[in-house]
Structure 1
Amino acid sequence: MAGRRRWSTEEILDAAADLLRTGDAESFSVRRLAAALGTDSSSLYRHFRNKTELLRSLADRILVAALDGYRPEGDWKQRITTLALRLREAFGEQPQVASIWGRYASGGAGSRLAMEEVLQALRSSGLPDERIPACYHRIVVLLSALIAAEAGIGGITSEEYDQGMEQFRVAVLGADPDRFPALAHFARDIRPLGVDRQAAFEEILAAHLAQIETEIQAGTP
């Protein structure tokens, strides 16, 4: 009788990514993954101690891919912006994993590469060393929140998107001007969350980096 196939770590992560494309991190389980691979859970636990470790590895693999071929260029703001856009693009291809990155800090090679680049960029900015950890933390919180929010929009089906747009039109364009005067006034200019996401991403990040730059120029926190 032929022995059961041994799956490599990369093959397991590939299968996990495929499974997540049809679901989310909450419904994902090692048992479901094992069933998709035609094996039992115990064989997967030889590679990963638990579901959290597996999901962390999956998120970290996306970070590694995002940083593949990356070379620091420009000033500190350009470096952080370029890195941020690479992360946005990488997680945009697997939106179900974006929330995992924000929830489970991976601590793997990809995470260390991203951390190192942000910290190096901040060191080159002129910030005093004692301010860098706090600024780093705020940048990472901002990026993970923005990327996870985009993933929530990017992961919806076309039917869900159409339903959301219809609800948006009713809520905004149909707002009662007596009850919601400001909303009625700006209704024609208010855009749905899914519109111009990259521009909004870049503007929010640029505003945060500009705030750090103002701190550097002032020489005070």
Structure 2
Amino acid sequence: MTDRVVPPAARRRRRPTKAGVVLTEELIVDTAMRLLKEHGADALTVRRLGRALGADPTALYRYFRDTDDLLLAIADELIGRTLSVWRPTGVWRADLWDLGLRMHAGALAHPQASVLSAYRVTGRVHEIEAVETILGVLRRAGFPDREAVRIYHAFVDQALAFAALDAANASLPRTAREAETEVWRTTYARLPAETHPNIAATARHLVADMRHGSYPVALGLLLSAAAARLAEVKGPTDAGR
């Protein structure tokens, strides 16, 4: 899309397209996410979207200024889908553990969309809800406001960084992923202890571990560090609640 703007009053008319489709922002976002999943980043063009929707491509400008505006909506939709399946329990550490894993899983379900949008700040409804919710979890746990913001920042950046990393890996062709995994067995596991003592000593663990993502381990370490910090603030008895 180009940077074309349609006045708000002219947007979102509910007339069907020539194919009988009534365009909505939700339908456009869903279709864009499907095209990204099936065809990669090159699919995110106004022409291909219009074709997939059975609509004149210019009709999309009634909903989004350009592809970047659409990308922000996709990023916000990924957040909204995660929030819709997350059920807080009131135990801060368990809640952030569950939310982090769901954020990661949601990214892997739409790897191309995640790679393109994980680093963006949308300022949209679902992102605002997520910021409010996570800060609320931390503040209710007893973190002072400054600490709550710092831990929120680390939690979200860690989740998004791992989401982008693992989603990029998931976007590779299967043969490429398998070839990279094999490097740990065919190269690292064969290095001699005389020249690479640390790799040789841990080779079997490297072969077993490096084929899997490390986000759960990193998330656990982050939450443990946060709990230790909370213990300093509140005392060890209440830190895990």
CA contact (8 A) 2:18 2:54 kept: no
**Unaligned residue ranges in structure 1 (runs of 5+):** none
Identity of aligned residues (%): 26
CA contact (8 A) 2:92 2:137 kept: yes
TM-score when normalising by structure 1: 0.84
Alignment of 1:51-200 (within 5 A): 51-191=67-207, 193-195=210-212, 197=213, 200=214
- Distance in 2 of aligned mates of 1:45 and 1:89: 31
- Distance in 1 of aligned mates of 2:100 and 2:189: 34
CA contact (8 A) 1:95 1:152 kept: yes
The structure-2 alpha-carbon separation of the partners of 1:152 and 1:69, relative to structure 1 and needing over 3 Å to count, comes to closer
**Unaligned residue ranges in structure 2 (runs of 5+):** 1-15, 235-241
Stretches of 4+ moved more than 4 A in 1?
Answer: none
The structure-2 alpha-carbon separation of the partners of 1:147 and 1:69, relative to structure 1 and needing over 3 Å to count, comes to closer
- Distance in 2 of aligned mates of 1:55 and 1:216: 37
- Distance in 1 of aligned mates of 2:42 and 2:17: 32
CA contact (8 A) 1:56 1:100 kept: no
- Distance in 2 of aligned mates of 1:204 and 1:122: 19
CA contact (8 A) 1:101 1:144 kept: no
The structure-2 alpha-carbon separation of the partners of 1:89 and 1:179, relative to structure 1 and needing over 3 Å to count, comes to same
Counterpart check, 1:50 vs 2:66: yes
2:219 maps to amino acid: L
CA contact (8 A) 1:153 1:194 kept: no
- Distance in 2 of aligned mates of 1:107 and 1:129: 21
Q: Determine which of 3, 7, 18 is the counterpart of 1:4.
A: 18
Two-structure CA RMSD over aligned residues (Å) = 2.5
CA contact (8 A) 2:184 2:206 kept: no
1:149 maps to amino acid: L
Most deviating of 208-217 and 27-36: 27-36
- Distance in 2 of aligned mates of 1:72 and 1:123: 14
Please state whether the residue corresponding to 2:38 is helix, strand or coil: coil
Please state whether the residue corresponding to 2:177 is helix, strand or coil: helix
- Distance in 2 of aligned mates of 1:59 and 1:130: 27
- How far apart are 1:112 and its partner, in Å? 1.8
- How far apart are 1:69 and its partner, in Å? 4.7
The structure-2 alpha-carbon separation of the partners of 1:169 and 1:128, relative to structure 1 and needing over 3 Å to count, comes to same
User: In the alignment, which residue of structure 1 is the partner of 2:229?
Assistant: 215
TM-score when normalising by structure 2: 0.78
- Distance in 1 of aligned mates of 2:146 and 2:180: 45
The structure-2 alpha-carbon separation of the partners of 1:144 and 1:3, relative to structure 1 and needing over 3 Å to count, comes to closer
Aligned residues: 216
Most deviating of 205-214 and 171-180: 171-180
CA contact (8 A) 1:52 1:104 kept: no
